[in-house]
Structure formats: structure tokens, C-alpha cells
Amino acid sequence: MKFLGFVIVCLTGGLLLYGTMDLPDWGDPASPASTHLSDYYIEHILEETRVPNLVTAVLADYRGYDTMFETAVVFCAGLACFLLLRDFRPKKDRYFRHIPTGVMLHVKNPEIRIIPGNEFEHMDREWVPSDRIIKTVCRILIPFIQIYALYVVAHGDFSPGGGFQGGVIFGSSLILMAISYNLKTLMKRVTEKFLSIFAATGVLIYVGLGVLAMIMGGRFLDYGMLAPLVPWDPGHIRALGMLGVEIGVGIAVMAVMVIIYVNIVSEGRHDEGL
Amino acid sequence: MTELVGLIVAKYNFWLYIILMMIGLYAMIAKNNLMKKLVGMNIFQTAIILFYVSIGYKHGATLPIIQGDHGGHGTHGAVIHAAEYINPLPHVLMLTAIVVSVATFGVAMALCVRVYRRYQTLEEDELRIRLSEK
């Protein structure tokens, strides 16, 4: 099987390498990919949308449908992870620590209820004391990462950035919290309900802006029709519409990243993980 | 021979990406472990992403962000030449593809977790034995 696979790979690679002879040279400005639609985008986007970042303008305006369904795909991926892995059954073995004495309790009977609070504390099965250096550095870093993520989302129209990138940065800051402390610390601050609602809200903001444009008399996702809503700055209405859409994308991507991480590391139990 | 070298130098990006893509394909075909197959799939995707991004590159061009006009007050009469900015379209396509690939990779890993929970293995031949036992 390995040898056969190697032969197949060599044949395919040889054919593809032979095919590169017909492809344009690297960086050739006259290559077919860079001459037809691309020229139109570069020369007309600024006057049509007033957004200097061409990537964001194409992403959120010219290819708005594509991005909307990509967001829906990301949402569905989060949903699939949840449905595949989420496990609501109570665990048989639970570990608690009696805080005043430091004694560990191993509870095997699922009937017994111990409410974690001032006296008892939930413990992971393989509990390792978190390193103070890692905890402190992460505690200081996480707010800055999150502000940077918000910056990336908010300035997506004018500088490199956008909803996808900002959402991933924000989500990774939350994942960093789960890694540096433990999963329970994250789930206490960012509950599952919160994440699910946010993932749906992001998609809803995107679709809602499209429907709003329809209500205002335009076509679906035609941000130009939203101008009466912002009378103080109607010239930038397309940039503002794109910003709204990017915020939706960012929220959805952030929530889905965390949902996927949490479900995979804890095998759907949401109690302990990496 | 010099012809071939000239050909490779002019298109070395495509050669590199095809080699990378074939590494991913080989991992998907020949590896026995499902996680290794997934890693191969990710290498394959990365090669395609790099391929698209390299198509958008133009010599002597800069980032696809129009310079010197960050208020959107028209173009100040300056004409924008398409040759000055690289092609934004492949970047747009790959931007979404990267995030979607991460999301689908998450789903694939979730499936692997389920498979492992049920059969206690991710090795393909062992899985086949377990499946035939049932």
C-alpha cells in the first residue's frame, strides 16, 4: 500500500509539474489572473465603496454572499462539534478539595452532591499546580491580545484586518486563558450559553444587515440603501455596512473557535481539559 | 538542461507548492493513523492556499490597500494604476478558506474523538478488525 501510494503520488506530482509549464511566470503582471476582474477591483473600489482596503471591500461587499455562507459554514462546524461530542451525563468520579484543610476527596457515588463554594473546590483528575510565571504572564497579556483583536476588527476597512482575523485572535486569547489556568476558569467566565448565543448572533447580524437593506428598498446586502439610517455620514455608508458585517463575522468566528476547542479538549464534558 | 533550469527558476513557486501538496497527498494515502491523515490533509490545504496567494503576486506591486487616502474623500484626482497593487481576489478567497479549513479540521478532530471513544484506537488496520468483529 505504501509503495502503491508512492507511485500514485509520483505520477500525480509529475503530471502537475508538467502542467506548470503552461502557467504564467511568478509575479508576472500580465498573467490572466491579474488582468480581468482584478484590474476592475483595484481601479474602481475606492470610488464605489470608499474603502481603501481592497481585500475587505471585495470580501464584504462584492462577494458578500460568499462570505455570508462561509460564516454559516463556520457556524455549522461549531454546531457539528457540539452535536458530536457534547456529553451531559454526570461524571462518576469526581474530585474535590476541602479548602481549609487541603484534603482531597474522591467521590464515586454520583448521588452525592457537593456544591463547590467557599469550603469545597472542584479538582481535575490529573491536577498539576499551575505555574505562577505562566499564569501571571498570561493574565497580563490576555487583555492586550483582546484589545488588539478589537482593533483588527474595527480597522478592517482601512488597514490589514477584518472580522475573520480579529475573531480568531479573540478566540485564541480565550483559549490561552483555558491553557494557562484551566478549563473551569474559562467556562466560569465564558459560559456555554454565552458562546452559543454569540455564535448565532454573529450570523444573525450578517443576515440581518442584508435583510435590513432589503427592507430599505434595495437588494439583499446592498449597504448603499442603509444611508438614511446614518444621516451624519452617508458618504461612508458602504464602509459602515462592511464594518457591521465584519463585526458579525468576528463574533461568530470567536465563539465557534472556543466551542470547538472546549468540546474537543474535554471530550464534550466541559469540566477538565488541557 | 539549461532550459529546464530556466523553467524551474521562473516558476519555482509552483514547483514548491506541488511538492508540498504531494507530501500531503502521500500522508493521506499511506499513513495508518487517522490523525496523521488529517495532518496530511492540512498540508495539502496549505499548499493550495500558498498556490492561490502566489498567483496574486505582481512584481513591483504593493499591498492591496490604496495609499494616501484614509478618509475616503474621493481619489484626489490621482489615477490608481492596477499594476501598482497586487491582485486582491486570491487573498479574499484564501482568507475565508483558512478559517473554514480550521473549522472543518475541528469537526474532523471531533469525529476522531468519537471514533477513539468507541473503538479505543485510531489506527486504520485495527479499526478494520474491530469493525469486522461486530
Q: What is the domain-level CATH number for residue B122?
A: 1.10.287.3510
The secondary element (H helix, E strand) that includes residue A122 is strand A120-123
Render each residue's pLDDT in chain A as its tens digit; 274 residues: 789 999 999 999 999 999 988 888 888 888 888 888 888 888 888 888 888 889 999 999 999 999 999 999 999 999 999 999 998 887 777 778 787 887 878 888 777 777 777 777 777 776 666 788 999 999 999 999 999 999 999 988 888 888 999 999 999 999 999 988 888 888 889 999 999 999 999 999 999 999 999 998 888 988 888 888 888 888 888 889 999 999 999 999 999 999 999 999 988 888 777 7
B98 burial (CB, 10 Å; 0-12 / 13-18 / 19+) is middle
> pLDDT at position A248, please?
95
3-state secondary structure of A106: strand
Question: A84 vs B110: CB contact, 8 Å cut-off?
Answer: yes
For residue B100, list chain A residues with Cβ-Cβ distance below 8 A: 70, 73-74, 77
**B106 vs A: CB within 8 A:** yes
Please check whether residue B54 lies inside any domain of the structure: yes
Number of domains composing chain B = 1
Question: What are the start-end ranges of the H helices in A86-191?
Answer: 132-154, 163-180, 183-189
Amino acid at site A267: E
DSSP string, A15-81: HHHHHGGGSPPTT-TTSGGGTSHHHHHHHHHHHHH--SBHHHHIIIIITHHHHHHHHHHHHHHHHHH
> From CA A58, how far away is CA B79, in angstroms rounded?
20
Kindly give the interhelix angle for A237-265 and B88-119, rounded to the nearest 10 degrees.
20
User: Does the predicted model carry a pTM greater than 0.80?
Assistant: yes
Question: A37 vs B61: CB contact, 8 Å cut-off?
Answer: no
Using CB atoms, pick whichever of A20, A25, A27 lies closest to residue B18: A20
* B87 to A25, A33, A187: CA distances (angstroms): 15, 8, 42
> From CA B134, how far away is CA B121, in angstroms rounded?
15
> pLDDT at position A127, please?
62
In which band, very low, low, confident or very high, does the pLDDT at B69 lie, cut at 50, 70 and 90?
Answer: low
User: First vs last Cα of chain A: how many Å apart?
Assistant: 36
* B31 to A172, B46, B47: CA distances (angstroms): 30, 19, 19
Q: Report the 10 Å Cβ neighbour count for A50.
A: 20
Please check whether residue B124 lies inside any domain of the structure: yes
**B46 vs A: CB within 8 A:** no
CA distance A81 to chain B (A): 6
3-state secondary structure of A111: coil
**The dihedral sign for the CA sequence B89, A65, A249, A171:** negative
> pLDDT at position B72, please?
46
pLDDT at residue B74 is higher than 70 = no
Q: Which of A48, A53, A94, A44 is nearest to A238 (CA)?
A: A48
Q: The domain containing residue B115 runs over which residues?
A: 2-59+84-133
Maximum CA pair distance of chain A?
75
Predicted complex ipTM: 0.87
- With beta carbons less than 8 A apart as the criterion, state whether A74 and B100 touch: yes
User: First vs last Cα of chain B: how many Å apart?
Assistant: 59
- With beta carbons less than 8 A apart as the criterion, state whether B85 and B62 touch: yes
Q: Which of A194, A240, A253, A193 is nearest to A71 (CA)?
A: A253
